[in-house]
Amino acid sequence: MIHKPREKRSLVDWRERLTRGGELLHEFYRGRHRGALARERRQEDDLFMLLVFSEMMGIENPSSYYTLELLPLLYEGFHEWHIRMGMDHSPLEHFRCC
């Protein structure tokens, strides 16, 4: 490894580092807000999934017939959903997605 002489890492280098540090800090705060909002949105979507799929979970749902037409639209999110709900495999015997 070739080391640059100490004197040459001076001002320009530090300025760069500070700018970079500022950006990271900025990103850190923005990321936290974004994370919180994204999490809340995911929770809302999870609730929606639960409302639509509740009949399959054994919770009586008066509208399961009517929401069947949502199934093709929601199916691809189904896998992520049951993993997030803490179930490694699909909770529904007859509804295998993994």
Interacting residue ranges for other proteins, rule: CB under 8 A? 27, 30, 33-34, 37-38, 40-41, 44-45, 47-48, 51-52, 55-56, 62-76, 94-97
The backbone region for 53, taken as left when phi is positive above 0, alpha when psi lies in -120 to 50, beta otherwise, is alpha
Residue 74: exposure state from Cβ atoms within 10 A (0-12, 13-18, ≥19): middle
CB-wise, 9 or 42, nearer to other proteins?
42
CB-wise, 9 or 79, nearer to other proteins?
79
CB-wise, 76 or 88, nearer to other proteins?
76
* Minimum distance, C-beta of residue 44 to other proteins, in the bound complex (Å): 4
The backbone region for 92, taken as left when phi is positive above 0, alpha when psi lies in -120 to 50, beta otherwise, is beta
- The rounded distance, in Å, linking the Cα atoms of 68 and 3 is 66
* Minimum distance, C-beta of residue 15 to other proteins, in the bound complex (Å): 19
* Minimum distance, C-beta of residue 51 to other proteins, in the bound complex (Å): 6
